[in-house]
Chains A and B, each alone.
Chain A
């Protein structure tokens, strides 16, 4: 939290500040706080804090509210919450579409970041399975990826059931000799990765980006036949003529969404949120600074704000 109090005359500075605040907020449409939601992964915290800082530069009052990633849609529909900065097409599309369909929530466009999700292995597995990253090599090394509970099949650690992902279908369609074990949360999933990586033991799991894991661990994504929408709907598509899902996972944008009343109440803020963009590489660097180098989110956000003033000024230019 950002708090400063100096040694100067308290009352005087307070009065001056009140004047300043008055001057700054005079331009905006409403001084009611705009509520941005915070979730529990670093990238989202950075995105949201940048947006909050930019809106504050424009003179808006901002409030950051902790809210569950999917439960927040109930709040966005009623206007209890105003803006959610990261809805991933890969995990939140269904909930977002349902909320937008009510007419009470609007899609505020792409953040510029693209969510990538795929099967992933640490680089040292290439020694045990030289054919990687081509997916066709997987079956030859199924034994290398096996554990006592899955042998003779290889073990693939999938995401939580709630993420969907069609991995069972993919295994079936591509004829892979693997079994999906679902982790309950991504924390549990990465705990297994950390554990295996420390021992240089075999592991094959679902990893997504932007995230700190592909920055911290050396590894590669398995290369499946590239995704096309037809692959998931048309059995004839792809290598297996009888089954769907004979391809990799789709990539998808990360969306911004907001309460439908946002634009009426704070048109300038809505414009700024829509204008917000950032790319995967920049975000990956910032996540690394926070999660691996131990910097505070505030410091990382301040640094970005200082370096990119022309960028964000354009978002809030009248």
Chain B
């Protein structure tokens, strides 16, 4: 089919859709939204299955619940050890009567350790940055909560990275595993966490471990995806060389492929760290405590400054962990070993140990060495409160006008359009798109997924979700891709934009959501802002990463040919970066959908709200059905985009 015909048929469909949307007021009721007769009582089935799983399922003599509780205990042991080390120390007695016998690591010791680790991993500059961020935690009174959060992150991230790496390698080795994993990964990333919180709590017990495991479920998928992609991208020459050198498959993987793929893998590690910290707020709702709890608590009493300070503490932790991790991975090996006694060969370890011993011992005499004194703490709370008030009092009318205009001319028309589409038309359109883009199999999948949506009885919420997330994704790509191009254009821009998007991704959206509500009221507009801000991140990150990954020889060749900078970008670098940009689009969609839980908190009426209602009623089945509906939309979008991308690439190559 030629491009012109393709464009024409798309136009024809759009015209038909608009016509149908306009005429839908006159449609018989069963045609607009799926009639009740088609709804399946899936929520009841799932609740019954969960009850069976927790109450009577057995694997041999061991009940399923004992098994999961046992696993929880296994994870809890190192977590509690870390807490003793960082937060509690060794105590006698419990609760308010608790008396510390050996205190936890002092704030000075942890800060010095961060500096030493930075110095070891790269240089003193990195060490000082890490140290300064740790100092922020102490100076702004976030220390104890930050150490609680650090304890759980320090367990969740290695679990997520190791699990993701293992699954990614398995998917790379065995095609079957890859096929089975693909929908599972989508489910893990798109079923809103609220949907499976209750089952996780029932299976793994109340407390930090359940929160930790929910974090791992959410944070692991990018690691799997990146591992698979990175291993695939290892050049075949290197593989051939490994084969010629007589590597066994295991050696080839360990000694050749993983080191070659390391830069790409570190993108995955970065994502696991960022997403784990992103879960800090939700995890704190089910027992993780720490900074997430502080953010929620501060915002509940509208202490915006307190929320921002605790939120920035989360970002600070993320930056320290991420930068140290990246530097450790990139650290050149094979340096000369120093000679002499032990403390001379390991000066940093010796220094840290000395500080730990000194602060612990002297801390009994001078408490300030052990716990950062309250009198030295700073706070910016009044500044933020005054700033918010100033903006609110002086600019509210202009902002209100902007909101009203966007609502009237963009959001409400799009929403009406989606809500007025007759469901058989949507079903047919999705199937047709699947067939045209990917053949019969994709058509069958599209039909099944849309049919599932219709059968849940959540059609209206699903269409509201499509409208909100669709708009969010379009806006995020429109802003994010140019930013990604800019970030790849120079190192300074890259660093600046990198810092902004890292902040956006780790600063809990709740922190900026409350000020946004103060200025834009509750409702879809505030929700859209939150979706765009959060979903922007992968659009920028993947575009920049893709552009930087273009082989320099190709760019040089283009320069030799006399291309201008713009031509190089348009004709060489962007086309070559398309696979990465599309991965970014995929992630943008997934992140936009994952924000549904947050948008529910400002009063939208989408699938996220349905999940949230189910959570507050502890209705396991209802929550999971709504969660699966979100996942169905995500998977459908992902597969259609994937097929379209493949088609586009095939055409490009065919033309070449």
Contacts and interface: CB of A to CB of B under 8 A. Distances in A.
B233 interface: no
Interface string A271-315: 000000000000000000001000000000000000000000000
A66 B602 contact: no
A64 B99 contact: no
A5 B100 contact: yes
Contacts of B518: 191-192, 194-195
A14 B96 contact: no
A212 B603 CA distance: 22
A40 B600 contact: no
Nearest to B97: A56
Contacts of B205: 75, 80
Interface string A210-224: 001000000000000
Interface stretch (A105-113, A122-130, A155-163, A167-175): A155-163
Interface residues of A, number: 67
A74 B198 contact: yes
B396 A195 contact: yes
Contact of B514 (A2, A52, A157, A187): A187
A236 interface: no
B201 interface: yes
Interface in A48-82: 52-53, 56, 61-75, 78, 80-81
Interface string A98-141: 00000000000000000000000000000000000000000000
B441 interface: no
Contacts of A62: 94-95
A94 B513 CA distance: 30
Nearest to A37: B206
Interface string B74-101: 0000000000000001011111111111
Given A70-B615, A184-B522, A191 B92 contact: no
Contacts of B284: 66
A71 B286 contact: yes
A17 B144 contact: no
A81 B205 CA distance: 9
Contacts of A198: 389, 392-393
A2 B98 contact: yes
Interface string A172-192: 000000000111111111111
Given A41-B300, A194-B302, A185 B602 contact: yes
Contacts of A291: 301
B521 interface: yes
Given A63-B94, A162-B617, A72 B206 contact: yes
A317 interface: no
A75 B407 contact: no
Interface in B598-613: 599-605, 609, 612-613
A56 B98 CA distance: 11
A68 B293 CA distance: 11
Given A66-B288, A198-B393, A5 B364 contact: yes
Main secondary structure, interface of B, reads helix
Contacts of B98: 2-3
Contacts of A14: 92, 99, 101
B101 A184 contact: no
Nearest to B94: A61
B285 A160 contact: no
B517 A191 contact: yes
B519 interface: yes
A81 to B, nearest CB: 6
Contacts of B97: 2, 21, 56
Contacts of A73: 618
A63 B603 contact: no
Contact of B287 (A10, A13, A65, A182): A65
B448 interface: no
A194 B94 CA distance: 40
A56 B96 CA distance: 8
Nearest to A91: B616
Contacts of B160: none
Contact of A40 (B198, B285, B616): B285
A184 B103 contact: no
Contacts of A68: 197, 285-286, 615
B289 interface: yes
B404 interface: yes
A18 interface: yes
Nearest to B197: A71
A25 B609 CA distance: 47
A184 B97 CA distance: 39
A2 B602 contact: no
Contacts of B101: 5, 10, 14
A23 interface: no
Given A7-B364, A157-B522, A199-B396, A2 B95 contact: yes
Contact of B92 (A21, A186, A189): A21
A184 B601 contact: yes
A95 B206 contact: no
Contact of A67 (B286, B522, B605): B286
B382 to A, nearest CB: 11
B299 interface: yes
A75 B206 contact: yes
Contact of B99 (A4, A56, A78): A4
A71 B393 contact: no
A182 B526 CA distance: 13
Given A14-B101, A42-B301, A66-B287, A183 B603 contact: yes
Interface in B194-218: 197-198, 201-202, 205-207
Nearest to A59: B97
A5 B99 CA distance: 6
Nearest to B93: A21
A149 B407 contact: yes
A33 interface: yes
B616 to A, nearest CB: 4
A5 B293 contact: no
A17 B93 contact: yes
A229 to B, nearest CB: 22
Contact of A184 (B286, B300, B396, B604): B604
B524 to A, nearest CB: 10
21 contacts: A3-B99, A52-B96, A56-B95, A66-B284, A66-B285, A66-B289, A67-B206, A67-B286, A68-B286, A71-B201, A80-B206, A148-B400, A162-B617, A184-B599, A185-B601, A187-B514, A188-B517, A190-B300, A191-B302, A192-B518, A192-B521
Given A74-B618, A189-B522, 10 more contacts: A42-B301, A52-B96, A56-B97, A71-B286, A81-B206, A162-B613, A184-B609, A185-B602, A195-B396, A212-B301
3 nearest A-B residue pairs (beta carbon): A195-B518, A184-B601, A184-B603
